[in-house]
Structure 1
Amino acid sequence: MELSLVNNLWVIIGTFLVLLMQGGFILLEAGSTRMKNAGHIAGKTIFTVGISSLVFWAVGYGFIYGEGNWFIGLSNFFYGDASFAGEGLSPAIDFMFQLVFAAIAMTIAFGGFAERAKLSAYVVFAVLFSALVYPVVAHWIWGGGWLADHGKQDFAGSTVVHLTGAMAALAATIILKPRIGKYNKDGSSNDLAGHNQVYTALGVLLLWVGWFGFNGASTFGVEDAFFGFVILNTQLAAAAGAIAAMLLVWALTGKADVPTTLNGALAGLVAITASAGFVEPWAAVIIGIIGGLIVVGSMRMFDKAKIDDPIFALSVHGTVGVWGTISTGFFATPELSTGMDWGKPGLFYGGGFEQLGVQIMGVAASGVYAFVVSFIILKVMDKMMGGLRVSEEEEIIGLDLSEHGSYGYPENIPNPNDTKGA
């Protein structure tokens, strides 16, 4: 079998795995929120993947990879390259792989909308985020923009996907304000617990498996079986993150909290995403451990600041996304970073502070852009649409009924048409 065919097969398998991560997000988000919003969580994920796909086809890919300038690409709109692969990767397969990454960023952003945003807000913001926010950051780093010129390292998207989505989620959370009943007048917090930890755990496991496509297929080929090394680093970081988070919350509270352990695994995955192809396995373990510890502190920090984040998107994808990106500035090896012609070695390998400085600059610029533009978009939407948040009555009833007219768990809701003895 020709090598080019195997390369194309591996990347399309990776594409399927990344798309399957949306199923993981459905279970994670539905399980982490209340039963009255479960159907809404599932449904909005599907239609926003549809919206982001069409927008990416129309303009997103062109803004990222089209011929343009340091800021944005300006060609290849309404993508339709039907050429065959030849010796390289099929243009259509490459396009599909990039598309599912854009859809993941969109899903992360919507974590900041959970349990209180109008359905129309999802629709409009999905279009604008997919056109004006994600593609710009992706162009800067992956599409030949100004951060690429500086050698910024982001192997599979700790910044491009996770931090960008999280900063949009932060903007939404600030504008929408906390859910009803989350905080008391004295500033104390109430636990609006999710309704199904089994769903949440299964969602994390699906995401974990999907991440092997997310990181592993970012090698864009099977030469030297390097994708196996990337997957090994991914596995070790996720495992280390889960254990570190569990042990820390156990030490702090006396209980091995299940949601925190699950978020620790996700933190390890997010942390290694930027560095999976640049670091040695022992470093992947350290990166995952620190990610797991950071997520515990970050979850508590946002809660004390009265920033209501039901899905913990800000901590898992935002705070840990920052750490994951910066970590390459410490741990990137000369063989892997320079051998792939992507940046320079990290501080611990004699590279000095140069790569670390580039990583910090990239995080700051990308995070500020994603937050500011998302905040402006959402603020304008809030004014023009008469508010982004559902009414108090609709929020109490739940978005399943108020936005969709049916419950995700209809058998648990009394049916007025039922008659005793019927």
Structure 2
Amino acid sequence: MTIETLNSGMDTIWVVLTAAMIILMEGGFALLEAGFVRHKNNVNIIMKVFVDITIGVLCFYLIGFGFMYGSDLLGLIGTNGFMLKGDLSHLDLSISLDTFWLFQGAFVIAVISIVSGAVAERINFRAYILYAVVMTAFIYPIAGHWVWGGGWISKLGMLDFAGSAVIHALGGFSALAAAIFIGPRKGKFTPQGTSTIALPSNLPLASVGAFLLWFGWFGFNAGSTLSATDVRIGHIAVVTMLSAASGGAATLLYTLFRYKRSDAPAVINGSLAGLVGITAGCAFVSDEVAILIGAVSGLLMLFATNWLESRRIDDPVGAFPVHAVSGIWGTIAVGLFSTDVGLFYTGNWHLLGVQLLGLVVLCIWGFVLTWIGLSLIRIWIPVRSTEEEEEMGLDISYHGVLAAYQENEFINYQDHYTEFNKKDD
């Protein structure tokens, strides 16, 4: 066995394991979002996550991967690699194509899951399935090609190691477009514009979801080396940990001193904001800068949450503040603090300019294409659930489940479905 063969085998094991960690993050998304929404919509949240990991993965395999990593056409789109067929030697991989696809397939699930939370409790389930196809086959892969697939933004030199911009800013602005397009939940805002509070159904469940996401993020960031022997792995893991801790600590202390109580949802989202913020620069910044990135991410998340409320935009899980705002800051921070080419280390403005340009393009792309996609979907089916479905709860309306948590072991089958079937008659 040669050294090259041994290294390739180790890299394959590493990438498969980290891909599995990222896929486990879907369990984190499911628990986090289920904990943040009301009981009557818990099952619907879980089913949307299953849409992400089933429909989304298949669409990425059939179409999306080719658009993202196929041979470049004018810096805009990939032209081969659909169903992993064709010559993809330009990728110059040290691992097999199958292994690389598995890792990238895990990434695409995360993007669509960001949008899922922003439209929780009021999107038509069938419409969500169609939107998942649009996102995983077209919106994300084409944007990903520009930055990671050899497209025009990558040629300018943009640095986004694991996706603060490509995944989180793009997904966050797609989530914002979807939330505005669909509108707020019934009763979320009074006629005078005052926001009401929809109490989370299970904050302990949401916290467990956040911990699972935190765990998977080590695969997200460190796994993006695609190499088990990359000496940066330890540093990437450390700055990931520090930024998440700093984001949570900043929100904990801010809410404690500002409101005289430490707000649990804010601390949960603050830690996630810290993870989002460090994702672009985890291979490029120092430990101290990671702490700064995390703290600023957490505080920006709080301010963005208040901004959404003031604009009467309903985002039940904080998808836009956590992913878009923190993703923007984390991507800009690379241009400022990269130890090799950042402004504060070299005095060179080029990288910062490229980071800003890339962000503007990706955010506009996610917002506009989501709006167009939902507009087209609305031609065939309603994008929003009816008032009756929303009032009854999407669990029973779309999945025939009375409640996510049952006290009785046995129930009468006919009684269980009577109201559900009446709705369809």
Common fold: TM-score over 0.5: yes
Match of 2:383 in 1: 388
Residue 370 of structure 1 is matched in structure 2 by 366
Alpha-carbon shift at residue 414 of structure 1 (Å): 12
Q: Which residue does the alignment assign to 2:62?
A: 58
CA deviation string 1:43-70 (max 9, x = no partner): 2211221111111111111101101321
Contact 1:40-1:408 at 8 Å conserved across structures? no
Which letter maps to 1:78?
M
SS for the counterpart of 1:78 is helix
- The answer to whether residue 318 in structure 2 is matched with residue 312 in structure 1 is yes
Q: 2:421 — aligned with what?
A: none
**What is the CA deviation profile of residues 199-223 of structure 1, one whole-angstrom value per residue up to 9, with x for unaligned ones?**
1100000000000000011011122
Give the distance between the partners of 2:408 and 2:319, measured in 1 at CA: 30
**Deviation readout 1:298-330 (Å, 9 max, x if unpaired):** 111111110000010000001111101111011
Where does residue 265 of structure 1 map in the other structure?
Answer: 271
Instruction: Write the mapping of 1:242-261 to structure 2, written as runs, cut at 5 A.
Output: 242-261=248-267
Counterpart selection for 1:398 from 387, 393, 396: 393
**Cα RMSD, aligned residues only:** 2.1
Among 177, 180, 185, the alignment partner of 2:183 is 177
Question: How much does 1:79 deviate?
Answer: 1.5
Moved more, 358-367 or 215-224: 215-224
Aligned residue for 2:174?
168
Which residue number corresponds to residue 358 of structure 1? 354
Matched, 1:5 2:5: no
Contact residue 48 and residue 116 of structure 2 kept, 8 A: no
> Retained in 1: the 8 A contact 2:123–2:383?
yes
Deviations 1:375-419 (A, max 9, x none): 01111212331x21111111011000000111342525999859x
1:338 is matched with none
Give aligned pairs, total: 407
Aligned pair partner of 1:95 in 92, 101, 104: 101
Question: Relative to structure 2, which stretch is displaced further, 149-158 or 375-384?
Answer: 375-384
Partner of 2:204: 198
Residue identity opposite 2:142 in structure 1? V
Matches within 5 A, 1:153-302: 153-302=159-308
270-279 or 65-74: which moved more?
65-74
Residue of structure 1 equivalent to 2:37: 33
Q: Displacement of 1:351 after TM fit? A: 3.7
- Counterpart of 1:347? 343
The answer to whether 1:110 aligns with 2:106 is no
The normalised TM-score by structure 2 is 0.92
Q: In 1, Cα distance between the equivalents of 2:121 and 2:350?
A: 43
Q: 1:35 offset after TM fit, Å? A: 0.4
Stretches of structure 1 that go unaligned for 5 or more consecutive residues are 335-344
State the distance in 1 between where 2:97 and 2:40 align.
43
Structure 1 consecutive aligned stretches of length 4 or more whose deviation exceeds 4 Å: 80-83, 412-418
Q: Deviations along 1:169-202, whole A, 9 cap, x unmatched?
A: 1111111100011001111110102100001100
1:28 and 1:295 mapped to 2: Cα distance? 17
- Give the 5 Å matches for 1:319-334: 319-334=325-340
Match of 1:71 among 76, 101, 108: 76
Distance 1:165 1:109 in 2: 6
- CA–CA distance in 1 between the matches of 2:173 and 2:408? 36
Kept in 2: contact 1:330–1:356 (CA 8 A): yes
> Is 2:404 the partner of 1:409?
yes
Task: Report the secondary structure of 2:233's partner residue.
Answer: helix
Are the counterparts in 1 of residues 51 and 132 from structure 2 also a CA contact under 8 Å?
no
Q: Do the aligned partners of 2:285 and 2:334 also contact (CA within 8 Å) in 1?
A: yes
SS of aligned partner of 1:235: helix
Letter aligned with residue 324 of structure 2: G
One-letter amino acid of the counterpart of residue 344, structure 2: F
Secondary structure in structure 2 of the residue aligned to 1:306: coil
1:251, distance to aligned residue in structure 2 (A) = 2.1
> Which residue in 2 is equivalent to 1:132?
138
Amino acid at match of 1:242: G
Aligned to 1:337: none
Report SS of the residue matched to 1:181: coil
Give yes or no for contact 2:72–2:150 (8 Å, CA) kept in 1: no
Paired amino acid for 2:30: I
